[in-house]
Amino acid sequence: MDSGKAPPRWLPFLVLGVGLLAISFGAILARFAQGYGLPSLTIATLRLGLAALIITPIALWQSSRTLRTLSRGQILLTCGAGFFLALHFATWITSLEYTSVASSTALVTTNLLWVGIASFLLFGDRPSRLMLVGIVISLSGSGLIFWSDSRASVSGSNPLLGNLLAIVGSWCFSAYLLIGRRLRASLPLPAYVWLAYGSAAILLVLACQSSGTPLTGYSDAAYLVALGMALGPQLLGHTSYNWSLKHVSPTFIAVVTLGEPVGSAVLAWVFFGEAFALWQGVGFVMLLVGIYLAARGER
């Protein structure tokens, strides 16, 4: 999956576009799984656990030597990435029980702000002026979506809790991206993905056991939806982001994730009838414009 030769300039942007499309189905499939009676913690566990199992033979075949020679620092960082990834999915999927798809995805993708600040403070990354403009426009679009959604009263029984959980999920995903940037400099993609997804799945299994949340006893349809989440949003979507970490900045990847509310909100309207208001549409356009400007400003 990785090679020593740099890819064409356009390839990371294409890969991120495909990944964004796949990830946009994440909230929709999570809602379907909740409808089949799967607890949110179970959904997160099955999504990451099935993804880790599917990629195991690829990781062992392509990266067995790398896995045998991991340093203690790499192992600790990988466990840290898995911890934040597990917490990200546990909090974000739970947020969908309390607030709308539009609000949840708009808030969980504010990781752009946190990644940009952390990258500047920790690594000295200075985004270009054009990327800064894209960041401001994208974040403004996210805020407009959230404001419009709140005015429309589309949210669930406890929108404040749902929105807070989505923000916590954003913080955790930001930490996951920053750790991944460090690890992807030395680890090939199959090894990193297998370790990150696997460690996150183990932590979630332990969380299910300690909380008494069952992983078995659900319908075949529920498990098929969970498998779809593992194959689509997780393996195709998140792995696309992980591959791109070696070729573009984590700040730009965070900008691209801001397109998720657009895709997810449209899909929520199609499948669940969650209509969005005029100002939400304006926010979606602002998100896309911001992503385009950030792409032009990516060094």
pLDDT tens digits for range 169-209:
989 988 898 888 788 778 888 888 899 999 999 999 999 99
Section 256-275 average pLDDT: 82
Print the domain residue range for 216: 21-297
Contact of 100 with 149, CB cutoff 8 Å:
yes
Query: What pLDDT shows up at residue 110?
Result: 77
d(CA 178, CA 88): 14
Lowest mean pLDDT among 28-42, 63-77, 84-98, 117-131: 117-131
Decide if 15 is inside a domain. no
Decide if 291 is inside a domain. yes
Decide if 148 is inside a domain. yes
Decide if 13 is inside a domain. no
Q: Is 201 left (phi over 0), alpha (psi -120 to 50) or beta?
A: alpha
Decide if 88 is inside a domain. yes
Q: For the whole prediction, is pTM greater than 0.85?
A: no
Q: Which long-range CB contacts under 8 A does 204-210 form with residues at least 24 apart?
A: 204/41, 204/44, 204/45, 204/48, 204/49, 204/86, 204/89, 204/90, 205/45, 205/49, 207/41, 207/45, 207/86, 207/90, 208/41, 208/42, 208/45
d(CA 36, CA 54): 23
pLDDT band at 130 (very low <50, low <70, confident <90, very high): confident
| pLDDT(225) > 90 | yes
Decide if 124 is inside a domain. yes
pLDDT band at 134 (very low <50, low <70, confident <90, very high): confident
Section 270-279 average pLDDT: 79
d(CA 148, CA 280): 6
pLDDT band at 118 (very low <50, low <70, confident <90, very high): confident
Decide if 278 is inside a domain. yes
Query: What pLDDT shows up at residue 120?
Result: 75
Q: Report angle CA 234, 175, 1 to the nearest 5 degrees.
A: 45
The domain tally of the chain equals 1
User: Taking the CB of residue 141, how many other CB atoms lie within 10 A of it?
Assistant: 26
Decide if 9 is inside a domain. no
Section 86-90 average pLDDT: 96
Query: What pLDDT shows up at residue 191?
Result: 87
Q: Report the percent of the chain where pLDDT is more than 70.
A: 93
pLDDT band at 155 (very low <50, low <70, confident <90, very high): very low
